[in-house]
Structure 1
Amino acid sequence: MTVSLLTQRVDLPLPGIGTAAARVTVLEHGRVRYVVRAPHVRGTFVVIPQHLRDGPVLPDRAVVQFGDGLDPQGTYYWRKHRPDEPVVHGVRLHGWTSSLQPDNLSDRYIDILGTYTHSLRGGALRELPLATRRRTETVIRAILAHWRSLPQLDQLRAAAARIYAAEYAEHEGARATAAEAQVAQLQTERKQARRRVNVLNGIRRRRPRALTPPRTHLARLPLVDGRGREMGSITVREVAVSAEVAGAVVYEVSGARVLGRFTVGSDIYRAAPVPQGVWVAYGHATRTHFENERAHRPTVNGVTVSGGWNHDTSGDITPSAPDTVGARVETSPTTGHSAPPATERRAGAVVRALALHFLAREDLDGLRLAAAQANAPFLLGETRRRLKDLAQQQAQEERNAKRHRRRERQLHALTASQRVGFQTELAA
């Protein structure tokens, strides 16, 4: 089936003005030319269905070009007039309208003309007088009302869509492929999250292991700075296996310009169900987070230090690494600054020595299990929320993939020679 190329004469009602006589001709690519004669109006308007990437398969928007010709809108914009550009109230129109929805032009506040409607005089673009704008808008409303009533409107839209159908089909196919890949990734993440829930439930059900009571004997630990240079030694006494912070041990430290307590436990951020890293707090900790006033905070080089150090692995800790442990000096409950370099250097040596001392305990697995069991309820809640989010994301991506594949098929059908195939696919 082909679109008729015959020219018809029609009358277009112009409210408050009268009637416009128009000769209407269907052009290539779904365009329709209106040659209009009305009070203070004469010239050619061309209605062009606007097929937008990611828009409807059959375009539902249109622009109205001022003047004749099949060249793209921008071709003439800065260079020269189009043939038979409309003259309204003695002003010659140049350019084209906004992107319009012909089914929704009843709102008087819609900007029909937009930013690409001007007059072109002496090579300069000029704004239209108000009377010219108002009459032009009235004429365009009448033209689009007639265009909407054309019996071959869907064929015109399809003809316009065929110009970019292959390009847009490729675009839709790429988006569908990306969505399908995302679905596969989300399925993998859901499987991992479900496995994590099982592991955490298993941790909660495990019988706690016996922990070694605080040792009565003192331990002497050598200190080494980040370059491996000796810095003396400290004497360490175990004060308590903490009742407040599960799996942590409190140490009393003295010697080598260090005095005070440190609390050593497992990685408090615990990405793994059973934490494998080390956490060291300056002072006797009663909780892991947001504790500004710990008792027995240590002094290092005569400076009272606060805060703590967390490391999510333990295999890479040596007497000299990592070099920085983030010792801070508080100036108020909410403010502070980094410790002096010499203090940070010595604090780092102490923290590394205590971390290695903690990791050498024979009940380390029991301490880690205690920390894991204390944190399991939080991790379970977090993981279940993530499972729910992943399921919602997967459902959305599956819908996206189906939508893009359907649009890809519809756009491919547009390029086919048989209209029946397109109509059947579009209705699917």
Structure 2
Amino acid sequence: MTVRHLTERVELPLPGIGSGSARVTVLERGRVRYVVRAPQVRGTFVVVPDHIVNGPVLPAAVSVQFGDGLEPLGSFYGEHRPDEPVVYGVKVHGWTEHLYPDDLPTGWFLGRYAVGLRNGIRHELSRGTERRTEAVILAIVTHWRRRPDRRALMRTAAREKAAEYAEHEGNRATAAEAQVVELKQEYRAVRHRISVLAGILRRRPRPVQAPDPEPVRLHIEDPRRGPLGQITVHEVAVNAGVAGSVVYEVTGPRISGRFTVGSNRYRPEPIPKGIWVAYGHASDRYYEDERAHAPGVNGVRLCGQWDHNTSDDITPTAPDTIGARVPSRGSAPHATERRTAAVVRALALHYLRRPDLTGLRLAAAKANVPSLRSDARRQLSEVKQQLAAEERNARRHRAREHELLSLVPGSPREDLPAEAA
């Protein structure tokens, strides 16, 4: 079939202007050419279906190109296309895009890609030229949307990049499916965590010793300077203000005050395995920085705490530093930090040698369960929502991949209908 056989002559009503006529020809790639003659308008317009990545499987919108040709819309942005429309004596260059045939705009819509072009320089169109051009475009697209082969034109346009877009959708489906696998693993892990926390609540408390009235002498040591002498330690409270903790009153060379030692408070383990040392007599408040009976070291009053996620690496000389702080001044002086670290290490090891350590850790775990379980339930809800969303994404992208593959020329599914999505 020749182009001549595909050409027809149509009338184009132009409300408020009159009417025009056009010779209409179906081109390759689903495009349709309109060679228009109307009051103050002559030239070629081409209706181009917009098939874009991540857009509908079958194009839902069209662009209108000014001038003839099958090249991509932006190919001639700096030079004239053949037979560009002349409106009020001005050559209109470029294109207008994102027109939905079933929902045509009622206001101005020409856009920034519709310009005049003179000597390779783009310039704005006058308002009259823009309004007359828009009127003709609306008449053309109104005629185009009534074409009996409209869906076939859309399918033809979609075939050009169907294979490329199908690969893109397949990649997105694969990524979503991989995310589904990860989220299912995370979901199972959180469910297991909730079960473990429930099990901790059901466990019977283990015996915990009362405070020992007898003082204990502990050696303190610096990894660089060696022995720093001894400190005297009295147990003030056990498993009282902070579950699973022991409060020690400490006196020694250039040091006096209380330290609260227990399991690490700021970690998510159901049964804590690390160590936490607070400067002062800690209360059950989760966040407190300055406490009663805060120790003084080298004449400097301390604040804050040291939280360590494991107890396996604590020795009389390690860790080297613990980041001791002073109220309103930040880090403690170097000498104070070194002596405080020596005391904290000695107290931590003394606490870890307790015969009731398992009971203290279980008490700390039971106290932490309400907040940990609340966090886990919230996390489970979030993961469940994310999982459902990714499963929907995987199904949607896989379905779009199959629909696009049905448009690929030569595909066994080519004749199956693709749904606009």
Superposed pair shares fold, TM > 0.5: yes
Task: Give matches, 1:146-157, under 5 Å.
Answer: 146-157=143-154
Give per-residue Cα distances to partners, 1:326-365, cap 9 Å, x unaligned: 222213xxxx522222222222222222112111111111
TM-score of the superposition, structure 2-length normalised? 0.95
Give me the CA root mean square deviation: 2.2
For residue 208 of structure 1, give the secondary structure of its aligned residue in structure 2.
coil
Give 1:237's aligned residue: 234
Residue 46 of structure 2: aligned partner? 46
CA distance in 1, matches of 2:330, 2:403: 63
CA distance in 1, matches of 2:155, 2:280: 75
Deviation at 1:148, TM superposition (A): 1.1
Name the CA distance, whole Å, in 2 between partners of 1:162 and 1:345. Answer: 73
Counterpart AA for 2:64: V
**Are the equivalent residues in 2 in contact too, given 1:329–1:337 (CA < 8 A)?**
yes
Displacement of 1:62: 1.4
CA contact (8 A) 2:279 2:305 kept: yes
More displaced 10-residue stretch of structure 1: 340-349 or 6-15:
340-349
Q: Answer yes or no: is 1:173 the counterpart of 2:170.
A: yes
Structure 1: which 5+ runs fail to align? none
Q: 1:317–1:4: structure 2 CA closer, same or farther, 3 Å change rule?
A: farther
**Cα pair 1:3 1:152 within 8 Å, conserved:** no
Q: Distance in 1 between matches of 2:221 and 2:83?
A: 89
Aligned to 2:84: 85
Structure 2: distance between partners of 1:424 and 1:130:
43
How far did residue 422 of structure 1 move? 4.3
Measure the CA separation in 1 of the matches of 2:380 and 2:356: 34
CA contact (8 A) 1:4 1:26 kept: no
TM-score of the superposition, structure 1-length normalised? Answer: 0.93
* Whole-angstrom CA distance in 1 between matches of 2:393 and 2:321: 47
Q: Which amino acid aligns with 1:176?
A: A
Q: What amino acid sits opposite 1:83 in the alignment?
A: P
Distance 1:288 1:344 in 2: 25
Give the AA of the match of 2:388. Answer: A
Q: Distance in 1 between matches of 2:24 and 2:256?
A: 96
3-state SS in 1 of match to 2:395: helix
Residue aligning to 1:270: 267
Which residue of the partner structure matches residue 364 of structure 1? 357
Superposition pairs of residues 6-405 of structure 1, within 5 angstroms: 6-78=6-78, 80-109=79-108, 112-225=109-222, 227=224, 229-331=226-328, 336-405=329-398
Judged with a 3 Å threshold, the aligned counterparts in structure 2 of structure 1 residues 419 and 60 are, in CA distance, closer, same or farther, namely: farther
Amino acid at match of 1:307: G
Q: 1:74 aligns to what SS in structure 2? A: helix
Q: Work out the CA distance in 2 between the residues paired with 1:357 and 1:151.
A: 89
Structure 2 regions of 5+ residues with no counterpart? none
* Aligned residue type for 2:101: P
- What residue identity is the alignment partner of 1:361? R
Describe the shift of the 1:17–1:24 C-alpha distance in structure 2 as closer, same or farther (beyond 3 A).
same
Runs of 4+ more than 6 Å apart: 2-5
Distance 2:275 2:33 in 1: 77
Identity %: 60
Counterpart-to-counterpart distance in 2, 1:26 and 1:230? 95
Given that 1:327 and 1:338 are in contact with CA atoms closer than 8 Å, whether structure 2 keeps it comes out as yes
State how far apart, in whole Å, the 2-side matches of 1:141 and 1:256 are: 92
Whether the aligned pair in 1 keeps the contact of 2:58 and 2:420 (CA below 8 Å) is no
8 Å Cα contact 1:260-1:283 kept in structure 2: yes
Shift of 1:9: 0.8
How far the C-alpha of 1:5 sits from its partner, in A, is 6.3
Is the CA contact (8 Å cut-off) linking 1:268 and 1:279 kept in structure 2? yes
Distance (whole Å) between structure 1 residues aligned to residue 211 and residue 44 of structure 2: 96
User: 2:24·2:35 contact (CA, 8 Å) conserved in 1?
Assistant: yes
Which of the residues 402, 405, 409 maps onto 1:412?
405
Q: Deviations over 1:85-106 (max 9, x none)?
A: 0111111111111332222223
Q: Contact between 1:69 and 1:82, CA under 8 Å: does it hold in 2?
A: yes
Give me the whole-angstrom Cα distance separating, in 2, the residues matched to 1:104 and 1:85: 26
Deviations 1:28-62 (A, max 9, x none): 00111111111111110111111111110001121
Question: How many residues were matched structurally?
Answer: 421
Q: Cα distance, 1:241 vs. partner? A: 0.3
State the shift of 1:325 in Å. 1.9
What whole-Å deviation, never above 9, does each CA across 1:246-282 have from its counterpart, x for those lacking one?
0000011111211100001111123111011111110
Q: Give, in angstroms, the shift of residue 372 of structure 1.
A: 0.4
Moved more, 415-424 or 278-287: 415-424
SS at match of 1:137: helix
Query: Is the Cα–Cα contact under 8 Å of residues 416 and 422 in structure 1 kept in the other structure?
Result: no
SS at match of 1:414: coil
Aligned-pair CA distance for 1:152: 0.8
CA gap of 1:425–1:23, structure 2 versus 1, over 3 A, is closer
Check whether the contact 1:30–1:157 (CA below 8 A) recurs between aligned residues.
yes
Q: Is the 8 A contact 2:408 2:414 kept in 1?
A: no
User: One-letter code of the match for 1:94?
Assistant: H
